[in-house]
Structure 1
Amino acid sequence: MSDQERKAPLKLSQPGKLELKKTVEAGQVRQSFSHGRSKVVTVDVRKKRTFSSATNAGDIGSSEGASANPLEEALDSARRENERRRVEQNQLNAIRAAILSQLDGRGRLACTIRWRADELQTQLEAAASMLPEQLIIFGPPGTGKSHILRSTYLNKLRIERECVVQTIFHPEYTYGDFVGKLLPLSVPDLNSPGRSTVTYRFYPGHFLLALAKAYREAILVPAGVVRNVALVIDELNRGNCASIFGSIFQLLDRDTRGRSSYRIHLPEMELMALREQAEISDIDQASTAEGRHLLELMRSGEIVIPRNLSIFATMNTSDDSIYYMDSAFKRRWEWEYLAAGTRGRAGDLVNVQIFDDVEPALSAAWKWVDFVDAVNSFILSHSESIRHIEDKQIGYRFIRPEVVNDAVAIPASKIRNKLLFFLWDTVFPRHRSLLADAMGVSLRTFADLSDHLDRFMIMLWDFRSAALTPDD
């Protein structure tokens, strides 16, 4: 091919305006060889195609059919689905009302009971299909962590009381308490009346008990009515989690189905205890695919956390005597922080008053939620002096209300003995002069602070009033 033909533009076979130029051109280079020899050779040079950024940006922005914001699409889809369900529910209610109008009292009762049973069955099936939770709820003391856990998450998963295993971690809590341990037991010696002998018995721990409940539901219960199970751990960071969980740590990784991504081998003694607690020692078949999978693993001495077992934990971030949790352990959990002073979680405490039989007029001016907000604002005002200031606040459930004079109230004695001591011992242990200066009294001991609850309330009232008064 000649140079003229090589440089000629490429055209369509039919007449038209569209044409493409070749992106390859010819060039000459001198190629060197050994012993000083060289040779001129012809090579093809491929051009790099370039585009105008302004043109492309305009084309992309103005192109028809461009996808919308995925978040907006998801929200629109959710709204349409909610509207569809609302319309269907209204139609169903109208049909039921028409049916009930044609029946007598006994017939209406029978239909209502049947419909309610169907609704509960649907809710149980929906709860069984939900993915399990593996959640740590944390925050300052009194923010209602245990309350939120039970009122929200356990209800959402339809977890009944008998399907909840609860424990609390502490510095002496061990792997044996969590999974199981072998302990000596003194029993009467049948061969020697009046004498006893020592035998050994395996005591299953809290995790093994929860696992057994979940295995029993998955293996013995028919599909569609499998109940969810929960293991609830209070004060998670007061125990040495790495030591307590041991090899169970490997099971905390869950796949998209909610089951453990990995499996671990369980010692024969612990495996026997699991079968015994789950009441599946003589069971070889299961009614669900999940149950059959669990039985197959147990035959090889392996276990996983099934999808119907959720694990919840709570912890206070302001505790001083806590254990460190490494990042590998923490990333296997979902986390939810409950902040202090969230009015939406005050619930039935919104209208609770403070009662003080010594200073009734002073305490009657305070609502409990306003008092807590004022305490937290006073603490936050000293953020430059107090370390970890966010964890030093309190929640509305820091003190439980009582019935006083036929009314629900917060006794001033509990504020004096619990809240003031928390401020003295936890919030201001190194800066007690801040309290003394604010109250205008000398505070050398906790007794001095306890005797001046009235001064503390007046100081908080003035502090709150100054904060609510706009600057001129």
Structure 2
Amino acid sequence: MELNEIDASSIKNICGNIMAESDFWYQKAIEAWTQWKDMSITDNELQNLLSIKYDDFCNSNDQRIAEIRKNLFTAVAYFDAKSKDKDTYNCYPDKRTVARTGIRQDDWVTRLLKYKLNNADMTPGIKNLVDYLDNPRDNFPIISEPHKRKIYNYFIGENVVPYSDKQFNLAMRNKFQGVIKCVNPDNYTAAVTKLIYYLRSKWDEKPVEIIKGLFVHERGDNWKQEFQKEIGNGKGCLWWHTLPVSYRKEIMEQLSSIIDDGGSFDFYYVKDNKAKYKARVIDFATAENYAEKYNEWKADNPIWIEEDLSDYNDGDHSAAIVFFVDKFCELKEQISLDNFVRYKNMKYSNRTGIAAFTRIINEDIKNMQDEYKKEIKETVNLLLTEKNLILQGAPGTGKTYNTAVIAVGLIDALPDGEGFDLPMNVSDHRQIMERYNELLSNKQIAFSTFHQSMDYEDFIEGLRPKVLNEQVIYEIHDGIFKRICNVAERNPKKNFVLIIDEINRGNVSKIFGELISLIEKDKRKSDDSIHGLTAILTYSGESFGVPANLYILGTMNTTDRSTGTLDYALRRRFVFKTMKADEYVVKAQDREIADVASNLFTQVKEFIVKYNSGDMEMDDLMIGHSYFLASNIGQLRNSLEYKIKPLVKEYVNDGILRLPRGKTLNDTFASWSNLLENGEDAG
């Protein structure tokens, strides 16, 4: 990573407030931490506090517990952006925190109480926090150990000097010398960390699919009821006799990363195709590391723990993996197996297997997906009937992606009574694109983008020069339209789709020429057509017709004023469907990003509604939902800076949005950026 790629003004925008601060940026955090460290609590009190339920700790009216709770919660309110009652205990106007972690509030309570009891018993994350607060000049406010390794590998490189805590601090301080200059030297590592997390999308490459937990099929209920009764507010051990068969290495690595980050994952027991019980897993072990984990876990006196892995057995099966859990419960509402989205659509045995899932679709999202499938079926049916269809809408509404879904659906549609059904999950992006690329390779789908220089010779047929025996000769070259028409005519029992992206950007009369009439649905060429038309091609002199089993699917950007209106000759031969910006899609992404993205979507929409000049309908103008989809705040910020803001600016310059005299976009853009700033994921 070359830091000279980032200009000084960008750095100032990212972390200038920290650089200019004369006081220590997290002074209140240090004060809260010092107060917690110095608070006198006896070992007996600490043991008693560790033994009571978290809810009882939170709700206790005991004066001594309330005093301890206040100091502990105050410290956490400055440590973690996700902390409980942060608004109450964090006195900074901007509610700044040292980090944003995956540590739950009850875990914070346990970890900080254990720190008081024995400060040598610290997780790597707590150690990183303590080291920073005790010495902010030499340490970084980066809590996650996996993050530190990723950051080191990206900015420094493991092959330069192997990673270690000491080497990380030394190398990263040197890396940003001259780039970050702070009034208070103690703020240097905080400012560097802010810049590092601004660049998170570069160093934190997320898996395409992020695992949230596991599920198995298991019919026994008696032991589960017994386990739930015994575990209470403590911990326990559960086991399963197989490991994932498909994608095992990927799954185990992701689960390990979750635990290393101080997080947890859910483990569901399914019976009769419904999840009925759930455990919260805070650690796990296999044959390779069970002995080591056993020594760590036994300090918490978990129920059902065994000294050796081989001791976990039921006479028929022995443990392949043991889960260390801190919660186990029967679900109030059972979850249908259909609502679990399996990792990479993995296959598993529903008798003995174990499967990973990336999310559980709630009923609202399930209904939304059902509505989407219904809409796709209606659109496929429309294309089957009309032969030629254009998807129109503002940028980011999913026009191009939906052409892939519709094309795959049309080609693979299965007869279902008098209608048809779609054989794939239209909401499964990976499945759709794998099938789309397969059909593209098989030449059942062809893709073209119109532009102003495209003409008949590119699209239908034309002459191409060729050197033969040192002489230039001209050969007839078939364009994409003629090629797919010929393939479709040779395979009358299959459907074929030609996708034309940005169809309104081309000169349609010049591109289609005399063939414009041949694409009409009743002029198509087939054995049972009485109105089928043919034309003599200009260069080859061949008789040419458009086969009935070819479907044309175009896209059109309704906000593009750099092109004229769509040629009327083409317009009357197509049907049109408007793609709209869908806020529900924005809300349906991962919860950690959905709230911020949804708020941004709302503010952008309100701005466009307020200043719409009236020349266009909102459905044709509102920026599409795909611009608000991201896997982290860094990606959403990039979309805001490099997609949303430039498009809004273009709307203003083109007169689509009209601002009152004296008003500029600066304040509006700043308020949008602040939304993301408040949702920053750092540490």
Query: TM-score, normalized by length of structure 2?
Result: 0.35
Q: Which has the larger radius of gyration?
A: 1
Which structure would you say has the larger RCO, counting Cα contacts within 8 Å and 6 or more residues apart? 1
